[in-house]
Each structure stands twice: as structure tokens, then as C-alpha cells.
Amino acid sequence: MQNSATFVRKEMLQAQEPPTSERGAIKWVRENLFSSALNSVLTIVGLVAAFLVIKAALPWLLHSVWNANSLGECRDIIAARYGEGATGACWAVVRERWHQYLFGFYPQELFWRPTMAFGLMFVALAPVLYYGNQRVNTIMTGVVSILTILALIGISLAFPQTIGGVEAGALAVLVAALVLGGLTAVAWLAPKRLLYFTLLYPAVGFYLLWGGSIWGPIGTLAGFAVLVVVYNLTKGQLGVVVGTGAGVVAAAVWWLAIQSHVTGALHSVLPLGTAHVDSDEFGGFLLAFVIGVTAIAASLPMGILLALGRRSDMPLIKALSVGFIEFIRGVPLITMLFTASLLLQYFLPPRSNFDLILRVIILVTFFSAAYIAEVIRGGLAALPRGQYEAADALGLDYWQAQRLIVMPQALKISIPGIVSSFIGLFKDTTLVALVGLHDPLQGVTKVVRAAIEWKGIYWEPYIFVGLIFFACCFSMSRYSMYLERKLKRDHR
Amino acid sequence: MAYVASAPKEPFRLSMLVYDTRYRSYTIQIVVLFLFLAFLAWLLNNTIENLAAKDKDINFSFLFQRAGYDIDQQLIPYTNDSTHGRALFVGLFNTLIVAFFGCILATIIGVFAGVLRLSGNWVVARLMTLYVETFRNIPLLLWIILAFVIFSETAPAPRDFRVTDEMVAAGEAPSAHKILFDSIAFTNRGMNIPRPYLDHPLGSINVLDVPINLSGLAVLALIAIGMWVNGRLLGHAKAVQEETGIRPVTWWKSLVVLFVPVIVLLFALGLHWEIPELKGFNFQGGINVAHSFTALLIAISLYTGAFIAEAVRAGILAISRGQTEAAFALGLRPGRTMRLVILPQALRVIIPPLISQYLNLTKNTTLGMAISYLDLKGTLGGITLNQTGRELECMLLMMAIYLVLSLIIASGMNVFNTAMKLKER
């Protein structure tokens, strides 16, 4: 018994390596590509399809030509370089028509204005997109400033001109550097203060794009100042509702009756301003961005109001909201655009004729607001009833409850839907070509393809326009994913 | 209740209309009502003044006047001598046919792409992601125009199909061929597909000036009867299965019921195909399908398909993982798990977004005007509007038709939605 030594292993056995078929790349391939007969077939079909596309597209892309003045010249260059029968992309069309794609028929000597407006737009967006985040705000403002200044330098080199003996381009660059430098400093020192610039931006952007007398935008801004002043004066005695009403009425009186006289008088005393640009000179991506960004910014508040109206206890408000939303969702956007171009002249007072771009923006805003209202209504419906009751229990009034408790949660839930509405809106800006505006797709590309030197070109302009739209829409959807992650408060 | 009763009863003061929540909603509604009515009156007044200034009236009689323009694609007989009203219906049918085929194609594409995007196969999932993201992020108008331009600029000209005697002698082949067993000619002028042709047709009757093909009606009736009988057959098989546990073999019976009567009827009517032939400078015979139709259909199906794929993917992801695991535990294969367990449940999540995609597709058919596809927007809202100069009437009529169309599709799909809903006790 004593000699029968029992064997007890003192140390663990070394784990054996898994068989070759169960590890590394082989395992991955077996699991992900050839796990069953059907999967193997799908893999092979997919690979063959991808190979065929790449085989056709790669030489075409590699044989790209950037420097040429016509399609024929492009083809000659490709034939000379890569032999007879070789195919290649002719990106020279993008290079040659670059300014037309970006600005349409905007006057060349004023290109710095839309460029500046575009740069400032991102500065104004920074505090909205990354609220109170000093680091990101500073980085974004700084990068945008540098890019804008570089673009302005490029423009001043491409179109040199002098005004009164001074290099105009250099002047624009200097002014831009000062303004953007100041804004970057604000973003760095007090990121939340940048919001004041955001509030001011619509007037700044409008003035930069259309130009004209400086008193017009200032007069419009003064209307808002009138609203705030009247509201603050009357709020104490009459309460929030009547105060707001009085403010709105006062502002409306200012805008409709007083403003034009005051600004006219000011303009005759002090004629400050820059060259005016007509709306029909707008085109290309400038137009897509003007319509898209304005309509996006305006349709969100309108959509919120419509969604609240649709869930209101007041039958009349509810009926009006439902009627508006369902009517707009039932007709195609094109009919709305044609309403803007053909019918509005019947509905507005005789001899009132305002800008086609503005009319289009208003109707696109209505259109998008109806869709956003439905998305937000979904978010409101998803909130548990207890949230509303808790707000009531705290003694909050309707607007306080909406602002502090309901909307922050409902909007958070509806972010993906809202952003996909925005993406849809931005893509739909291409439709304005059908009412005669020069959008990048139909308006500009059609003109380019009709030009004698670019006749017969089709892949390159469409790929170029498509890529820019893809970049904008894709980054919007990625931003919405970031925002969802940032605002996520559950399942931590 | 005692507290309420003993509360001091305040006399009504005018300021309560604003401050007392019991009355405030009435005040707000009355103010809004007045503003709304004033707005309507303002619009109406402006319209009347503008119409008077232009010396116009609101009058729909132009619908009964001669249209005077041609429409390439017509599902009901139409010549340029027909009325504007008839042109409206030709356009409406052109809209509907694109919407109908578009919905079917987009659903097929979308379901496949959505399911495959979630498959374990890495290559296929990546390819489908690429497809969905590309189509979702680029405007539909670009796809429509690109498809149209490519069809009409890269397809061979009809003369490329010509086979001359010299070519036969030299043993050369023409540079272009008809596709699909030499039956479909795809040229830069359009696509010619074979036309079914009957030796002994049943004739046609005219209803409201629209000829209705009796042979087609007979075929449709036979198909409907076949489907009904097939339904009874399957119902019987299911009853037998539930009673005895053994399902009788039905597949060949279904095939016989569904196909044999139709084939016999078509044989009796003497069906053959009229193949398009190159005559002179273009193809003659068969049905000519314009590129504007094909391009619009393909672009709109691929575009909407990407959105449907996302809806399908979201629906499948909404079904908890436990359902898949339970199905695997029962020994179901992945394909059957998807078909029998996941998809029926996911369908309830998928249908509401699907409805709105169908509506979007129908409304997006108006983009066909960019490639001169004469749908409702092209006829009523395009040429008729420009010829008669009656913007107000045409636009209002067109909006009303689209509204009705949307409402019909939405209510039809809502019926389907209610039918598919989980029956909860």
C-alpha cells in the first residue's frame, strides 16, 4: 500500500494549439466565407462581381487625365499615353468647370463672398454641433478658418483684381484672417459665447451671399430686437403669453410698415453696402447649400411646433396641424416646387414678386417640416406617460414642461429620423433644377454636357456630383450616430 | 369632494380668458380661427384679384378639348386628337405602371439586400452595405439621369445589328446582337421586346371608350380561379396534416391547377410571339419600351430598394436573438429559421416603414419629368399646363389626384398591416 505511489499532476497541462482549421485566417475564412454550400456560392459570386467591376473601373481610373480642354483632347492624351483603345477618365471636365460647379453664374470677382459665407457657416455650426465642448469647438473653428483663408488665397490668385490700387484679394484675405482669428479666439476662451455668432449668422450669411445695402439685414435684425424689448417690457405685467403676442405684433409692425422707411432713410444718409447679386446668378453647390441649409435650419422648429400642434388638446389646432401635415405628405415635392414657381403668383397680392429661391426655400421648408413633425410625433409618443404627469406634478406650465422635460427626451429619441429627413431634404435640393434653377446636377451638368467640347461625357460629371453629395449625406448620418452615442443615458 | 364644493366661487373676469387655463384654450382657438379665416380670405381675395388682372377664370372645360400632342407610351388608346382629359388618364396610368412595377422590384431587391446584409458571409454583407450606403446617400435624380444617359448613349444603334451580304460572305458578325435568345433588341432608341400575338382572339369590348381585351380577361380569370382552387387544396392538405400528422403531397397538384388550364387556353387561342425585326433604319414589331421608362423603373427600384433594405434590416434586428437560438435548438436550418421564425415576426416591424417607402416611390415617379417620361406630371402638369396656360386648375387637379393616390395606397397597406398584426388576447 505504501509503495503504490499515486500519481498527482502538480502543474497544469499546457493548452494544446487548436487544430489548423480552427484558428487564424483559416478559421475566419471557414466561418465567414465558406460556412455552407450556399455561402460558398454567394462568396464566389460576390467576389467575381467585385472583380469584374474593379477590372473594368481600375484601368479607367488609373488612366485619368486632369489637364485638357475638351473630351477629344482627353481621348488623344489617353491614346498617346496608354496606346490605342485604352479607356480613361477625363476629370479635366471637373477641373475646367470647377467654378461653375461650385458657384454657378455668380460673378467671378465676388467669389470670396460665398467662400467666406461657407467657412463662417461651419464656425456658426460648431457651437450647435458640439455644444460647450471647448476643445472640439476650437479645433473645428481653427481648421475651418485655415481652410477658408487658403481658399480665399486660391481665389485671389485665380482671379487677380485691384480696387483703388489695392490688391482686392489680399484685402479679403486680411479681413477674413482678422474675423476668423477673432472667432477662433472666442471659441477657445468662451465656447458658449460663440452661440451669439450662430444667432447672428443668418443675417451675415444672407448679406455675404446677396449683398446690396447693409441696412436691409440690420433692419431685419432690429425687428428681432424690437420683439425682445417689447417682450421684456410687457412680460412682468401681462404674463408670458400676452408678452410674446405683443412682441410678435410689434415686430411684425416694424417689419411690414416701419422698416423700409427707416432703412431707406438710413441708406440715403449713409449708403453703405456692396455689390448686389441676383438670385438667378446662384448655381451649383452654392445653390444646393443655400436651399438645403436654410430649409434644414427652418424646418426643425416648424416641425416641432407642428408635432406639438398635432398632439394638442385643442381640437382646432390639432385639425389644422393634421390637415397641413397630411396634405404635404400626400403630394410629391415637385408639385410643391411648381406651386412655388407657378401658383404663388396667384396667392400673393398683385404685383408682389419675390425671389424664386426664397419661394422655393419656403416651400421646401414646409415640405420637410411636415415629415419632421411626424418623426417627432413618434418620439413624443414613445415617451412614457409618467414623464408628462411628473412635469404636471412639479407645477410646470405647458411650455416649461415641453422645454425642460418632454422635448429633450423626445428629440433624443427621434434623432435618427430627423437626420434622415435632413439627408432627404439635402438630396431633394437637386429637384430645384426642374423649376429652372441651376442646381449642380441638372442645371450645371446639363450645361456642361451640352457644351461642344464636352459633348458625349457622362460618367465623370455624374460621379463628381454624386461623390460630393455622398460625402455630405454620409457625414450627416455619421454625425447623427455620434450624437446618439453621446446622448445615450441608459444601459450603461 | 367637499373641498371642491367649498372652494370660493370666483366671479368671471375678462382677464381669466388669458390667465385661467380653463378658458385660455378657448381664447387661443378663437384667435387662431380668426387668423386662419383671415388668411384664407386674404388668399382667396388675392387669387380673385390676380385672376381678374390676367383676365382668367377657373374653368375645367379644357379637359374636354383636343390635346394635340403625342404620348409615346400609352396603356389606353390615345392619339393627338384625343382630349386633354384622356391625356390625363394616359399620364396617370403611366405613373401607376412605374409605381406598380417599382414597388414589386424594390421589395424584392430590398428584402434580399436587407437579409444578406445581416448574413454571416463577410463578402456579401460588405457588398450589400456598399450598395445601401451608395444609393441612400446620392440623390435619386442622379440615378435616374445617369441610367437614362447610359442607356441612350452606350447602347448600340440599330444599324449595328445589320447583317449584310458582304458580311455573310466575309464570315463577319455584326457588332451588336439581340439578347435573350435573339428576342429583345436593346438599342439607343429604346428596347423592343416580343409581343404576344393570338391567332384566334376573343375580341374586345369597349367600356367608356377604353377597349378591354377579352382574351386577357379570360387568362386573368383562369389564373384567379386556379389560385382559388390551389388555396382550397392547400387548406385541405393542412387540415389533413393537423388531423393525422402526415401532409399529403400537393406540389404537382398545385402545378396542374395553376398552369395547365392557362396553357391549354393560350394554346387554343393560338399564342405566338411577334419578335422585333430590323427593318429599314429601326426595329419593327414587338412592343417598344422607351428608355425613359426603363431608366426610371431601374433607378427608382434600386434607390427605394436601398431604403427598404434598411427597414428590413431594422425589423430583423428588432427580433430578439433568443428567437433565432430557440429555432436552432429545435433543429431548424438558418434558411428555414429566417423564413418560418424571424421574417413573420419581423414583418410586423417592417410593414409601417414599407408603407411610407411605397408612398415615397409613387411620389418620386414625378422625377421622370427630368428624362421626359410622360406621367401625370408630364401630361397634366406639363404639356397640358403649358398649352392651355391654366396653371391653377392643372396644379390643383394634379395635387388632388396625388393626394387621393397616396390615401388609397396608405389605406390599402394599413388594411394589410392590421391583418398582419399580432392577434393579442
pLDDT tens digits, one per residue of B286-340: 788 888 899 999 999 999 999 999 999 988 888 888 999 999 999 998 888 888 8
Mean pLDDT estimate for chain A: 85
Of A38, A314, A433, the CB nearest to B25: A314
Domain assignment present for residue B388? The answer is no
CA distance B356 to B308: 10
Domain assignment present for residue B34? The answer is yes
Banded pLDDT at B224 (limits 50, 70, 90) = very high
Q: B127 and A46 in contact by Cβ < 8 A?
A: yes
Instruction: Indicate whether A218 and A203 sit together in one domain.
Output: no
Report pLDDT for A490: 64
B210 beta partners: B207
Report pLDDT for B7: 58
Of B33, B124, B366, the CB nearest to A46: B124
CA distance A63 to A15: 54
Average pLDDT, integer, range B374-384: 86
Chain A: give the shortest CA distance to residue B416, in Å.
20
Strands (E), A87-165: 162-163
Least Cα distance to A373 among A408, A322, A336, A413 occurs for: A322
Q: Which tens digit of pLDDT belongs to each residue from A302-339?
A: 999 999 999 888 889 899 999 999 899 889 998 889 88
If residue B312 lies in a helix (H) or strand (E), which one and from where to where? helix B291-318
Average pLDDT, integer, range B5-18: 68
CB-facing half-sphere around the CA of A371: CA atoms within 13 A: 26
Report pLDDT for A267: 79
Report pLDDT for B64: 86
Domain assignment present for residue A41? The answer is no
Instruction: Indicate whether A284 and A322 sit together in one domain.
Output: yes
Domain assignment present for residue A309? The answer is yes
Domain assignment present for residue A311? The answer is yes
Banded pLDDT at B180 (limits 50, 70, 90) = low
> Residues of A with CB below 8 A from B407's CB?
330
Query: Helices marked H in A63-111 — which ranges?
Result: 71-82, 92-96, 98-103
Host domain of residue B21: 2-53
Least confident of A136-150, A478-492, B32-46: A478-492
Residue B184, Ramachandran bin (φ over 0: left; ψ between -120 and 50: alpha; else beta): beta
Domain assignment present for residue A16? The answer is no
> Residues of B with CB below 8 A from A462's CB?
142, 145-146, 149
Of A313, A316, A430, the CB nearest to B32: A316
If residue A382 lies in a helix (H) or strand (E), which one and from where to where? helix A356-382
Residues 6+ apart with CB under 8 A from B18: A239, A241, A242, B24, B27
CA distance B237 to B242: 9
Domain assignment present for residue B293? The answer is no
CA distance B375 to A417: 30
Instruction: Indicate whether A357 and A466 sit together in one domain.
Output: yes
Q: A32 and B121 in contact by Cβ < 8 A?
A: yes
CA distance B334 to B324: 9
C-alpha cell at B270: 393560338
Instruction: Indicate whether A370 and A422 sit together in one domain.
Output: yes
Find, in chain B, the residue whose alpha carbon is nearest to that of A470. Answer: B137
Domain assignment present for residue B189? The answer is no
Least confident of B17-21, B231-235, B283-287: B17-21
Q: A332 and B391 in contact by Cβ < 8 A?
A: no
Angstrom distances, CA of residue A371 to CA of A321, A343, B224, B348, B396 = 12, 22, 39, 22, 21
Domain assignment present for residue A51? The answer is no
CA distance B403 to B397: 10
> End of a domain among A225, A251, A274?
A274
Mutate to test the interface with A, among B121, B300, B408 (most CBs of A within 10 A): B121
Of B28, B139, B366, the CB nearest to A430: B139
Q: Which tens digit of pLDDT belongs to each residue from A137-156?
A: 888 888 888 888 888 888 88
Chain A: give the shortest CA distance to residue B11, in Å.
20
CA distance A161 to A157: 9
Domain assignment present for residue B398? The answer is no
A-B C-beta contacts closer than 8 Å: 152
Report pLDDT for A492: 45
Q: Which tens digit of pLDDT belongs to each residue from A89-138?
A: 888 888 888 888 888 888 888 888 888 889 888 888 888 888 767 788 88
Host domain of residue A265: 212-274
Instruction: Indicate whether A76 and A167 sit together in one domain.
Output: no
Q: Contacts by A137-140 with C-beta closer than 8 Å and gap 24+?
A: A137/A187, A137/A188, A137/A191, A137/A194, A138/A184, A138/A187, A138/A188, A138/A191, A140/A187
Instruction: Indicate whether A450 and A353 sit together in one domain.
Output: yes
SS3 A207: helix
Residues 6+ apart with CB under 8 A from B196: B271, B273, B274
ipTM for the predicted complex comes to: 0.86
Angstrom distances, CA of residue A468 to CA of A94, A398, A426, B62 = 12, 43, 12, 45
CA distance A436 to A340: 12
Domain assignment present for residue B30? The answer is yes
CA distance B70 to B372: 12
CA distance B98 to B365: 7
Domain assignment present for residue A135? The answer is yes
Tell me if A344 sits within 8 A of A269, measured CB to CB. Answer: no
How many domains does one find in chain A? Answer: 4
> Residues of B with CB below 8 A from A481's CB?
none
Query: Helices marked H in B118-246 — which ranges?
Result: 122-136, 140-154, 165-170, 179-182, 214-244
If residue B210 lies in a helix (H) or strand (E), which one and from where to where? strand B210-213
CA distance A101 to B131: 26
Banded pLDDT at B279 (limits 50, 70, 90) = confident
Banded pLDDT at A376 (limits 50, 70, 90) = very high
Q: Can you say whether the dihedral through the CA atoms of B282, B285, B290, B294 is positive or negative?
A: negative
Domain CATH code at residue A450: 1.10.3720.10
Tell me if A159 sits within 8 A of A108, measured CB to CB. Answer: yes
> End of a domain among A274, A292, A319?
A274
CA distance A353 to A210: 17
Instruction: Indicate whether A371 and A319 sit together in one domain.
Output: yes
Mean pLDDT estimate for chain B: 84
Find, in chain A, the residue whose alpha carbon is nearest to that of B370. Answer: A434
How many domains does one find in chain B? Answer: 1
Domain assignment present for residue B13? The answer is yes
Instruction: Indicate whether A191 and A124 sit together in one domain.
Output: yes
Angstrom distances, CA of residue B353 to CA of A309, B97, B300, B315, B417 = 23, 22, 17, 10, 11
Instruction: Indicate whether A350 and A455 sit together in one domain.
Output: yes
Instruction: Indicate whether A223 and A308 sit together in one domain.
Output: no
Least confident of A111-115, A176-180, B14-18: B14-18
Concatenating the DSSP letter of every residue in A42-60 gives: HHHHHHHHHHHHHHHHHHH
Q: Which tens digit of pLDDT belongs to each residue from B181-200?
A: 677 777 777 888 888 777 77
Q: Which tens digit of pLDDT belongs to each residue from A234-267?
A: 877 766 767 788 888 888 888 888 877 888 888 7
Least Cα distance to B295 among B222, B365, B353 occurs for: B365
Instruction: Indicate whether A442 and A461 sit together in one domain.
Output: yes
Banded pLDDT at A1 (limits 50, 70, 90) = low
Q: A331 and B406 in contact by Cβ < 8 A?
A: yes
Q: Which tens digit of pLDDT belongs to each residue from B41-57?
A: 998 998 888 888 888 88
Instruction: Indicate whether A131 and A166 sit together in one domain.
Output: yes
Domain assignment present for residue A52? The answer is no
> Residues of B with CB below 8 A from A433's CB?
141, 370
> Residues of A with CB below 8 A from B146's CB?
458, 462
Distance of CA B234 to the CA centre of its chain: 30
CA distance B117 to A437: 38
> End of a domain among A250, A274, A298?
A274
Report pLDDT for B6: 57
Of all residues in chain A, what percent carry a pLDDT higher than 70? 96
C-alpha cell at A430: 437637386
Find, in chain B, the residue whose alpha carbon is nearest to that of A239. Answer: B19
C-alpha cell at B60: 375645367
Q: Can you say whether the dihedral through the CA atoms of A374, A379, A381, A387 is positive or negative?
A: negative
- The reported pTM is 0.87
